[in-house]
Structures are given as structure tokens and as C-alpha cells.
Structure 1
């Protein structure tokens, strides 16, 4: 979040939003990155600012997650408030409530069974999303803030910006039929699901957008590659993909993932992460270990077109 959004969210605004939501008592700050997130009264409260999401965009997200929940998908469903609405707003801050998820976070190395269940869940999301159009539209991959590279990456990095622009042009030529393109989570990493026995439950669909189903997978592959040591990167990603796709095809066809374009989708995710670092962090004083790991020597590699992970080497 930008500092002015943090500074503007006063205790008075927070308390009034909680009151309007019908919540009271102690709360725990869950330290959200792009939103304020709290655990309270057996629920999870998320507060977004206008600068991040409009009410229309939030309603599109909540409609999508509600549909998934109603169809039996493992998600934290939004809670309908007393007056038959989902959102309370005050001074540009918008609050909504979700069911609290039971379970624990997974840690590296992730059990094989969890990765298979992960793939099965994402496959179900994609199957249900095919052809689904909410009455409140979400942004597509072009309009997404994380892909506004000229607004986020410094203008003097001309080679990177030119590569990003060329990539966007090539991606615009990809097929967008319902069987390969629709609403996706786009951030379904291990920080956004909990495991309870054999059950995975997903939350934080804040970044959901219209894109290729394969972009969900690209996001996850990028995360696995980012955490791997360089010498193990290809083998770690290969193992993850084999297990994930085993689960995915229990629910949906692997053809929906457009694997032949995965290298391009991975590059989009990489540029997106690079842009996020410049938009929300200080590249010279990084706090997050993953950002430090990624940014070390990264600019010349991006300028030369060297990806974090060579997808072609994986043999898919």
C-alpha cells in the first residue's frame, strides 16, 4: 500500500467500519500487503482503498468467489451483511467480510499430496470460470495495474520497457476463447491457501482478473522458481509441474493451460513482479527476502531477455 493510504486509515475510520459491519471486540492485524486485513469475531475483514480497487471491481471479485463457493469449490466465501449487501464504505475505504479459513500454512518443501490437491483446486476453478461473466466486471490482464509497466518501471530502463511492450503485443495475439481464458485467481500461491488434513481452502482473490488460465500456472511456477536455489531450479519446477498437472487434469483438461505459450506467460509474470518492486518497495533497501533474491543482478538479465526459469528446458 502507498503511505498516504496507510496514513489516511485512522482508528476512527476503522472503528466505524467495524461498527457498520456489526463486528466488535478484539481484532488481530493480519498485516496485508495491498489491503488492511483483520481477524475478528470468527471472520476475516478486508479493507481496500479506492486507489487500489473500485467498489465495482470489489463486487466483481465477491460475485466470482460466491459463484465458486456455491459450486462447491474450496474458497473462503464472502459474508452477506445485514442489509443484503457485501461492502461498507467510508471516506474511500471499502470493507468486506469473509468466512475464516481453518487450517495451517504450508512450508517448503511442500508435500506431494498438497501439490496434487493444489492443482486439482485450480483445475476446478478454471472449469467453473469458463464462460462465467459477473454482472460487475473485473479488469483484464491489459488493464491490470501490475502490467502498467511504463507507470511503474523507471523510464530510463528503456530496454526492459521495450521488451515488456513487445511482450504485451505478442500476448494480445493469443487465443481468448472460453476454454482457455476467463476469470482467474492470479495469486494462488501458498500464502493464499490453508491446509486442513487433505483439504485446501483458498482466499484473497483480490487480484482476480480476466486472463489465460495458464497465467494462474505461470504465477505459481514463477514462485517455485524464485524460492529454488539456482542449481536446483529446473528440477524443482519440473517436479512441481508434474505433480500439479496430475491434480489439475482430475478436474480440467491440461489443454486449457496453453502450455506452448507458457514461456511468454512466465515472462509476463516476471515483468509484473519487477514492476511491483518499483511500485511498492525501495529497490535499494528491500525488506522481503524473495524480492532481494529476485532483484540481485536482475536488471541486466531482463535487458538481455534471460528469464528466471527457462521453460523450454523443462520439456513440456
Structure 2
């Protein structure tokens, strides 16, 4: 599949669930229906039915409805394609806050080779605005290699998406939060995503969209946002450091005035950068002195699916 110099896929190619099913060669489907018209009423029950050591792709089709449960994909259950009926129609919802991010998570995936399409993942606790550092309420904990989300949504306030480790790809997803709401040490591409900021009421402290944790210069990890849209309420930083070599790049993205002029919060050895962003929040005036505006040459290796070795595992490239 061809790609442009600064785009991941051919824009004429529509990545939908039937295409992914075809590319993966899936011929087994487990149906989940909250009204009892499927194989299971519970998403977790469907996952539990898949044998450990699974070696063939299987669809778990989660039909429309709000599934109030916590869902865990364990390490022993690879090759699951969890397909919803659209992020506005299929939702997995739980309500738990904790000082432990993993403990609070509504959805946890710890198996390699996982794909989700058209599902919302929500943590409804704490309700309202996040006020304290003890109110982590993770919507999704993504903790394995070769994981992709297409047309999904992630809702919470504090620490929404724990992109913990591995190579990940998010396309046309919606991510909402107020404080460090995309965080972890993953090597991840966010393509064409919407980032919505909820107001952080602590007047003297702005929340950050990202808190990427890269511990050394040798690590390849980092968050790459390409052709995304950042908007919302109140003021927010594009990112802060969770590790001493934190790396986050926003490219070709619309940044609304909710992004504060400084853009980034400071620490050490950071790689916080932008490339050809636009909108009132993309102005260079007042930008933090350590942040970077990248050249075509500097950004090229990041704006390629090769950054996550995607041609070897993303089904749309097969």
C-alpha cells in the first residue's frame, strides 16, 4: 500500500471493519449481545471462551449497547479482533478511581496482536472534574506489542489512556481528558485522532495532554500525533515529561486556543516538538524555549509507519 512522504496510508483507502476482517483472513466470530441475541451477554465471558494459546484470529463482535463491566485480555489470548457497532453505539463502561492506574482501568489488554474497532472505553469515576493526583481513572491500559485501535473512543478525566508499552497504532480515535490523559512509554502513532480537553479547575496548574515516559536516549519510544485535532475547554499543555527523555511530536495537527502559548512543560533532555501545526494554539510566540519546530528532514523518520514497524504487522499493509 503506497504512502505519501508525510502520511501513513493512501488516503483513498478506507480502513473499515470488513477490510480488516478480509486482510486478517478471519472466519470465526463470537457474538456478544447485551439483550441475549448472541453467544454471550458479557464481553468478558466471550474473551474467557477463547482458548489460551490461541493462534488464529477471531472476531469478538460486541453489538450495540452499554456493557457495564471491566474487560481484561490476558497475555495468553492473542489474535483477538474486538469489533463494535461504532464508538457511539457500543461502549464498555466502568466506574473506578484509584491511586493505582492499572487497578482503576476499565479495559486492559496485555496480549500481543490485538485490534479494536468502533468501541468506546469509558471510566466514569471520578465524575466531573479531576482535582487531585489520587483520582486516576484509566479508561484503557494498553500493555503489549502490536496493538491497534480504529474508530474507538476513550473517555475519562485523569489518566485516560495508559499507553504503557509496545508498538501501537490509533486511527480516527477520540480521546478525552484533562490531566496527563495520554501517558506511558509506548512507541505509538496517533493518526487523524480527536483530542478533547476537559477543563482542569485548579487555576494555577494546567493539565497536560501527554506524559510520555522515555527513560533513556536509546529508547525508541514516543508518541507521534499526525493530522490530529486538539480542542476543548480551558487551558492545557501539549505535554509534560514523565521520564527524563520524554518524546512527543505533534505534526500537521490543528491546535485550538485551549493549548496555552508555552505549549510544553519543562524537565530534562526532552524531545517535545511540532511540525507544521496550525490554528490559534500553534503560534510560536511564547513557545517554551526547549521545544522544537522540526524540519522536513528531522520529522521524516517519525511520520512513517516504519516508526512502529507497521508494515510488518498492521493488517491494512498486508
What is the TM-score normalised by the length of structure 2?
A: 0.30
* Higher share of residues assigned helix: 1
Q: Which structure's residues are more often strand, by fraction?
A: 2
The higher relative CO (CA closer than 8 Å, separation ≥ 6) is in 1
